[in-house]
Amino acid sequence: MNLEKEIKLGTGVPKEITKKTKIRSLHRKEAIAGYIFALPAILGLLLWTIGPMIASLIMSFTNWKIIGASEWVGFQNYVNIFTNDIYFKKSLWVTFYFAFGSTFFTLLSALIVALLMNMNVKGQSVFRTMYYLPVIVPAVASNILWLWLFNPDFGLLNTILDFLGLPTLMWIYDESTAIPSLILLSVWSCGGTALIFLAGLQDVPKQLLEAVDIDGGNVWHKFRYVTIPTITPVIFFNLIMGLIGAFQAFTQAYVMTEGGPNNATFFYVYLIFREAFLQNNMGYASALAWILFIIIALFTLFIFRSSKDWVHYGGRK
């Protein structure tokens, strides 16, 4: 648009050819400026993502260590992972358990909180702050705090259970409750997801909700046939980002449990970390990382594919 306008307002050279060259040179000028301004992002993409990804794929076929020579070993790392690694299957199971559990419960609690806040209750901004507060607590600090809350003898959680006359738990110190405890910790910081839901809920068209009222529908009808369909894109976004984030759980294992008890919290990224930085098996760890990448990519693809059946893009798309 601006180009044509400029030419009209410009020197008024009547010749078709001069006009064309001028447009072309303006286009070129804009393209050059575009590349200059976008350069940091483009370089960053090549330098910090595409380059390392290719390097990581190549390394996964070698026995690379930090020091010493490395050799091409073909698929040996992958074969070893699937046949010899006693931690691989365990960590995969633990990670899936945690990823699905924490994503499900975080999304569910976040949605409930957002729905309640969206009812125009008094002090909405205070609630927003209160629920968001746990999100900004640095991971190490929150993990150390929860380590203390989970303390079976002097921790807050057992004090509460005891006060309510309920049996106390061993929390992260027992194989069967370790992952549920860490899921609880994730649910504590569901406030970020809740705010994203809240922003989505504020887009729900009022006329549609009123139409349900006129047709004699109740709260459930409104929720099921208006609210949920309108926020499916937000659910979709939160689901994908939640799963991708949860698949990479690491800090909890490093700070709180050291993968225990009895490897019950031996997260996949913790396994990669141990192979790479404690055992120096860079090639092997790269193969592990690529397997994680493929798993996450497959899940994302699957959710994207299925989204056609359940995500509604109102007028936006």
* Residues 66-85 interacting with other proteins (rule: CB under 8 A): 66
Which residues, 206 to 235, sit near other proteins by CB under 8 A?
233-234
Question: What's the min distance (Å) between Cβ of 96 and other proteins?
Answer: 15
User: What part of residues 181-200 is at the interface with other proteins (CB under 8 A)?
Assistant: 188, 191-192, 195-200
| Residue from the set 154, 167, 305, 315 that interacts with other proteins by CB under 8 A | 154
Determine, following the binding rule CB under 8 A, whether residue 100 of this chain makes contact with other proteins.
Answer: no
Q: Cβ(198)–Cβ(117) under 8 Å? A: yes
Q: Answer whether 282's CB lies under 8 Å from 200's CB.
A: no
Contacting range for other proteins; rule: CB under 8 A; set: 17-25, 56-64, 82-90, 204-212:
56-64
Does 164 sit near other proteins (CB under 8 A)? no
Our finding on whether 249 is near other proteins (CB under 8 A) is no
Interface with other proteins includes 149 (CB under 8 A)? yes
Distance, in Å, from the CA atom of 228 to the CA atom of 225, rounded to the nearest integer, reads: 6
Which two structure tokens, joined as six digits, stand for 87? 């931690």
Q: Is 123 left (phi over 0), alpha (psi -120 to 50) or beta?
A: left
Residues 115-134 that bind other proteins (CB under 8 A): 116-117, 119-122, 126-134
Site for other proteins in 253-282 (CB under 8 A): 254-255, 269, 272, 276-277, 282
Share in percent of the chain as helix, strand, coil (round to 5): 75, 0, 25
The minimum distance between CB 126 and other proteins, in angstroms, equals 8
CA 168 – CA 157 distance, rounded (Å): 8
Q: Which residues of 175-189 are buried (b: 16+ CB within 10 A; e: fewer)?
A: eebbbbbbbbbbbbb
Q: Are 95 and 235 contacting, i.e. CB atoms less than 8 angstroms apart?
A: no
To other proteins, the closest distance from the beta carbon of 275 in angstroms equals 9
Q: Does 9 bind other proteins (CB under 8 A)?
A: yes
